[in-house]
């Protein structure tokens, strides 16, 4: 629980910055005040979803690829909350949310692939060191 709370606090911090920025942009350009409570509650909800996604992704239990897929699925409701907060001020057409879901999915997939390659090379290095160590012992 403590670990999840720490993740939530960090996520809330990083989520609230763009949310406040976007609300300010809408206020400046369209002269519409979205309301601080609406933005805050929305940010809290989005942070909860993202923190759960991070916790599931990082979980030691279960298979890694299933955790990765679940992590992405859990993020999707956060995007719908985001749409609810900013409505047609940001999402001018209905399809924009689905495009956003797809874009987030692509970015998530690329990030996963890059991280996975990095971890694989680390593991390969450790396996090589293990083999070298065994070979050295046999030679001696």
Partner 1 sequence: MIVRVNENPKIKDIEVVINCKERDKFILEIEKSLTYLNKVITGKIDGRNFTLTPNQIFYFDSIDNKVFAYTKDKVYDVNLKLYQLEDIFLKTPLIRINKNTILNTKKIKSFRSSFNGKMEAILKNNEAVIISRKYVPILREILGGKRK
Our CB check for partner 1 shows the closer of 63 and 92 to be 63
**110 counts as binding partner 1 under rule CB under 8 A:** no
**112 counts as binding partner 1 under rule CB under 8 A:** yes
**116 counts as binding partner 1 under rule CB under 8 A:** yes
Which of 9, 41, 73, 129 is close enough to bind partner 1 by CB under 8 A?
Answer: 129
- DSSP result, 53-97: HHHHHH-SSS-HHHHHHHHHHHHHHHHHHHHHHHHHHH--STTHH
Q: What is the DSSP letter of 34?
A: -
Which of 1, 2, 28, 60 is close enough to bind partner 1 by CB under 8 A?
Answer: 60
Q: Which residues contact 71 (CB under 8 A, 6 or more apart)?
A: 53, 54, 56, 57, 108
Polymer length of the chain: 140
**133 counts as binding partner 1 under rule CB under 8 A:** yes
CB under 8 A, 24+ apart: contacts of 88-95: 89/26, 89/30, 89/32, 89/34, 90/22, 90/26
Least separation in angstroms between residue 60's CB and partner 1 is 6
**130 counts as binding partner 1 under rule CB under 8 A:** yes
Which of 9, 13, 41, 120 is close enough to bind partner 1 by CB under 8 A?
Answer: 120
d(CA 76, CA 83): 11
Stretch that binds partner 1, among 20-28, 91-99, 102-110, 119-127 (CB under 8 A): 119-127
Which residues bind to partner 1, rule: CB under 8 A? 57-58, 60, 63-65, 67-68, 71, 112, 115-116, 119-120, 122-123, 125-127, 129-130, 132-133, 136
């Amino acid at each position: 629980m403590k670990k999840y709370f720490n993740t939530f606090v960090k996520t809330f911090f990083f989520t609230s910055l763009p949310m406040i920025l976007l609300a300010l942009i809408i206020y400046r350009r369209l002269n519409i005040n979205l309301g601080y409570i609406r933005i805050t509650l929305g940010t809290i909800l989005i942070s909860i979803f993202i923190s759960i996604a991070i916790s599931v992704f990082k979980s030691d239990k279960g298979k890694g690829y299933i955790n990765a897929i679940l992590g992405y699925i859990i993020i999707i409701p956060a995007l719908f909350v985001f749409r609810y907060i900013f409505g047609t001020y940001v999402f001018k057409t209905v399809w924009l949310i689905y495009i956003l879901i797809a874009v987030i999915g692509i970015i998530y997939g690329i990030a996963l692939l890059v991280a996975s390659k990095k971890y694989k090379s680390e593991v390969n290095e450790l396996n090589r060191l293990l083999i070298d160590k065994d070979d050295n012992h046999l030679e001696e």
